[in-house]
Amino acid sequence: MAGKRPYIPIAVGVLGAALVGLLVYGIATQAPSRSLDEALRHGTHPPAPSADQMLPRLSGGGSTSLAAYRGKVVVLNFWASWCEPCQEEAPKLERAQQQLQRHNGTVLGVTYLDVTPDSLSFVKRYHLTYPNLRDTSGEFTHSYGTDQLPESFVIDRNGHVVAISRGEIDEAFLNRAVSLAERS
Amino acid sequence: MSATRRTMMAVVALALALSPMLPSAQAGAATPRTNTAAPHTTTATPRTTLLAIEHQVMCVTCKIPLNVAESPQSTRERVYIRGLIAEGQTEAQIKNSLVAQYGPSVLDLPGTKGFDLAAYLVPAAVVLALLALLVLLLPSWRRHARTRASTGVDVPKLSADDAARLDADLAHFD
């Protein structure tokens, strides 16, 4: 028994514990962040994440960022052409756009995990007039805690998130954005 | 006159001699037209198949290989790949196009940032740990082996008869 080395089982144990820890960490970090939702629940309006990140325009012709829309009320909508609820809400968003643009506001679409030709067909089919950007890396989308589509965020003129809709939007959500644009 | 006639006959004879070659000559003339027309055809020659691509890329929404995915997004992804195949793109070109559309997560490879790094670091760490274990254990194994050799614990002793027979056998080789 004196010849046995205790450090070998200890080392194997530490290694096993480290792997389990890594697994737990991975599961915890892969889950979508809900920090924006938490902030709104506590009555604060957090700054819109990744506002300076440049994203290519869906229609081509360079890139822009959310920060370029500072001063406008923005309904930031994440969508993809293959997503059925996105198809349902597209006409509602276009109607909201008609109202928002009269009060210095806009809907800003961001396509996620969608191919450009399909996205362009979608824009044409639903006669969407609001600007659309592409998030090919998914970094911008993930910074909003979005991993399912559609999701929408109302951002005030100062670039703060004031409302969140995780799932298909309803008229009340859009009316809130329009009234914010009218008020401010 | 006879010279003219001879010339005409020679021309006719030459024409007759060449006549069997006429169809092939016509075919030869037709070939360049076919070749010229080829670039205007709408379907390019496929250089790969959907099957070959499908198991190398991911369904980006379901996070599983595309060949086993059944979601609306995976259906659109397949349609897009079929389009690229029909354009005659190679496997590498198709993968590049997919990355341009869906980002690097579409490739069946872990990322190089954040937690995805673990996919590269953990195997390396495990190999290092095993090497360290080997370095720790190897001296003691060798020491143990040397001890056994010096004490001759595992070496059976020869009887006097066997030793004599062995010596006799070895003597044959001298």
Residues A130-140: pLDDT tens digits?
A: 999 999 888 99
Q: Is residue B5 part of a domain?
A: no
For residue A133 the two structure tokens come to 């950007």
- Asked whether residue B51 carries a pLDDT value surpassing 50, the answer given is yes
Indicate yes or no: CB of A25 within 8 angstroms of CB of B115: yes
Interface of B with A in 95-114 (CB under 8 A): 100-105, 114
* Biggest distance spanned by C-alpha atoms of chain A: 86
Average pLDDT, chain A: 91
Please report whether residue B145 resides in a domain.
Answer: no
- pLDDT of B118 reads 80
Q: How many CB atoms lie within 10 A of CB A82?
A: 23
Asked if A118 and B102 come within 8 Å (Cβ–Cβ), the reply is no
- The pLDDT of residue B52 is 92
One domain for residues B46 and B103: yes
Could you tell me if residue B89 is inside a domain?
A: yes
Rounded distance, CA B34 to CA B101, Å?
36
Residue of B nearest to A19 (CA): B122
Q: What is the pLDDT of residues A10-23, one digit of tens each?
A: 878 888 888 888 88
Buried b (16+ CB within 10 A) or exposed e, A159-173: bebbbbbbebbeeeb
In a domain? residue B147: no
Phi/psi of residue A79, each to 5°? Answer: -150, 170
* Chain A contact for B61 (CB, 8 A cutoff): yes
Phi/psi at B65 (5° precision): -55, 145
ipTM higher than the 0.90 cut: no
HSE-CB of B157 using CA atoms within 13 angstroms: 4
Contact B115 A114 (CB under 8 A): no
Q: B60 with B78, same domain?
A: yes
B-chain CB neighbours of A7 within 8 Å are: 136
pLDDT, average across residues B99-122: 82
How many domains, chain B?
2
Question: Is B167 a residue whose pLDDT tops 80?
Answer: yes
Identify whether residues B47 and B101 lie together within a single domain.
yes
Phi, psi of A95 (to 5 degrees): -65, -40
* pLDDT of B15 above 80: no
pLDDT at B23 over 50: no
Question: Is B136 near chain A, with CB under 8 Å?
Answer: yes
Over residues A166-181, the mean pLDDT reads 91
Query: Picking from B36-45, B82-91, B162-171, which range would have the lowest pLDDT averaged per residue?
Result: B36-45
For residue B52, being part of any structural domain is answered with yes
Which string of b and e fits B91-115 if b means at least 16 CB within 10 Å? eeebbebbbebbbbbbeeeeeeeee
| d(CA A26, nearest CA chain B) in Å | 6
Lowest-confidence region among A98-102, B59-63, B77-81, B147-151: B147-151
Higher-pLDDT residue of B22 and B147 is B147
Q: Containing domain of residue B68, as a range? A: 42-107
A143, pLDDT greater than 80: yes
